[in-house]
Amino acid sequence: MLTQLYIWPKFEIIYLFYIGLMVLGVIINYKVMNYLSKKQSNVLDYWTDLQRFAQVRKVNQSELAILRKFYETIEPEEMEYYLNPENRSRFRGALYRFLLSTNFAPSEKEVDLFDKLFKNQADSGKEITSLFDLNVGEVCALEAEGREALSYIVQKTDSELLLSPKGVSTELSEIGKEASIYVFRPSTGGYLLSGVIQNSSPEGIVFLFTGTVQKKGESHLMLVTEISLFFNPWPPKEKNLGLDKNKVLLSEENLDKQIELLRRISKEQAREDKKAFNIPSEPGEFRATSDRISDRAITFEFPGKQSIDMLKHQDLWECEFTFLNGPTFKLKGKIFPTKKNANLLLFRFVDADEKVRHEIYEAIRARGGVRELMN
């Protein structure tokens, strides 16, 4: 029986070329996939960063959908540029141009979004009673005969506004037409200022204010009453969600309030026996009595038998309360000091949807509620 011998093929120089091509292909494929992966990661990160920027300013889901449409029209590098605080005015301009070019949402929604993102904090709580309370450069919506268009204030007098004509149709800016200006304040809501189109040209639209300001939407009511409040840290220890409390981000609006709370605790610690501030490692439940209650928050005095120091160890609380001869509510929220009264704290709801807020509003209205003033 003959044994067949296997003869190795003769090595050729051309094989080195093929091997080199294969190695080069693997390297190029790795580089390309790595680049695409990083690029996709950056895109996702920029949207996440934009969401955080918006959510800190209390942008709701419908407004966030508008912002998402804007985000999809620009390059990731542009978003990175706009998110830099030094480039906020460029971000403002880019978003305004986008809103002018689309009919994705009603102009009032666009005004609300714009003002939440860019409104000066000093102006956000200012009520509007006249043209004096408006700012040059402020975005608004011109409304007439059921139609509306986004615009902004170029100049103003004590009775007139000069509006930008960009995006406003000739029918909407017809001279002599009765119209309204819609503006928004993040803390107090929307306002309609009634007037007449006094003049119109390609250079601008002159709006004559007739002196009538109407609050747009339901105002917030409060009830000055003593209601028993039962507070529990949330989530309960047995239902720990695994979130690292040390990494919880403070919102822009709440940061100053949190610092003020820490200052108050520090002052009390300096005045009192330090042993009085020895508290358990885990914050516990406590009871208090309301001072005022609205559909957004409750003010109350912290019970003297317990240390206020526990509040700095807990971010979220759950509060249960019942109106006299009325409904019971159990809501999650955050606790902050009030601005005007050193003895009062503010519990602001964070999970009350429109249905729950309306139920609280109706309970307050039925008991003789007055205009809200919580701070």
* pLDDT tens column, 49-68: 888 888 888 888 888 888 99
Percent of the chain residues past pLDDT 90, beyond the cut: 18
The domain spanning residue 154 has which CATH number? 2.30.110.10
Residue 189 CA, distance from chain mean position: 14
Packed helices 107-118 and 88-100: angle between N→C axes, nearest 10 degrees: 180
The domain spanning residue 362 has which CATH number? 2.40.10.220
Q: Using one digit for the tens of pLDDT, what is the confidence trace for 95-114? A: 888 888 877 777 888 888 88
Tell me, yes or no, whether 338 and 247 share the same domain: yes
Report pLDDT for 374. 62
Tell me the backbone φ, ψ of residue 232, rounded to 5 degrees.
-135, 140
Q: Which structural domain range is residue 336 located in? A: 221-273+280-371
Tell me, yes or no, whether 129 and 269 share the same domain: no
Q: Using one digit for the tens of pLDDT, what is the confidence trace for 124-140? A: 667 888 898 888 888 89
Average pLDDT over residues 210-219: 77
Tell me, yes or no, whether 357 and 291 share the same domain: yes
Report pLDDT for 221. 75
With contact defined as beta carbons under 8 Å apart, do 204 and 162 qualify? yes
With contact defined as beta carbons under 8 Å apart, do 119 and 186 qualify? yes
Q: Is the dihedral of CA 36, 37, 42, 44 positive or negative?
A: positive
Domain count, the chain: 3
> Is 110 inside any structural domain?
no
Report pLDDT for 327. 92
| Cis peptide preceding 235, ω within 30 of 0 | yes
Q: In whole numbers, what is the pLDDT of the chain averaged over residues?
A: 78
Report pLDDT for 228. 94
pLDDT band at 193 (very low <50, low <70, confident <90, very high): very high
How far from 5 is each of 1, 197, 285, CA to CA, in Å? Answer: 13, 102, 87
Report pLDDT for 367. 87
Report pLDDT for 277. 47
> Is 89 inside any structural domain?
yes
> Is 38 inside any structural domain?
no
Strands 147-156 and 189-201: unpaired
> Is 363 inside any structural domain?
yes
Tell me, yes or no, whether 268 and 155 share the same domain: no
> Is 114 inside any structural domain?
no
Please determine, for residue 342, whether its predicted confidence score (pLDDT) is greater than 90: no
Tell me, yes or no, whether 132 and 212 share the same domain: yes
Q: How far apart are CA 35 and CA 28, in angstroms?
A: 10
Q: How far apart are CA 206 and CA 173, in angstroms?
A: 9
Tell me, yes or no, whether 306 and 360 share the same domain: yes
